[in-house]
Amino acid sequence: MALAACSSAGSDGQKVGSDGELACSLVRRLPDRMPDQPAGGSSDHSWDVAVGRLNTAAELARVAALEDKKYQPLADTLATARQTFSTTFDLHRAEPGIKQARTQC
């Protein structure tokens, strides 16, 4: 994943994106059809990866909105998607919010 077009530099001198750009990067990495929760003992980590990306994208968008209000709609959308997942433990129920977040990115 190339972040060379981003304007801020990290502590090691490599270019990194803003919090909003990073949130959008994670949203784009989420699958269109979210994975099912694996059965016990499964070695498929796609569900855990999707949960981690959704939660991280939501948090990055929240922080981005604190600094730049243009990210507030994205933060609200991802917060709703994350809340939907948190109350149902069904990633498929978060898909509409993720789809909407893609359009906001």
- Report domain extents, the chain: 18-30+45-104
Give the tens place of pLDDT for each residue, 70-105: 999 999 999 999 999 999 999 999 999 999 999 999
Give the pair of three-digit tokens for residue 4: 């060379």
Centroid of chain to Cα 2: 17
pLDDT category, 9, cuts 50, 70, 90? very low
pLDDT category, 27, cuts 50, 70, 90? very high
**pTM (global) more than 0.85:** no
Q: Quote the CA–CA distance of 54 and 82 in Å, as a whole number.
A: 7
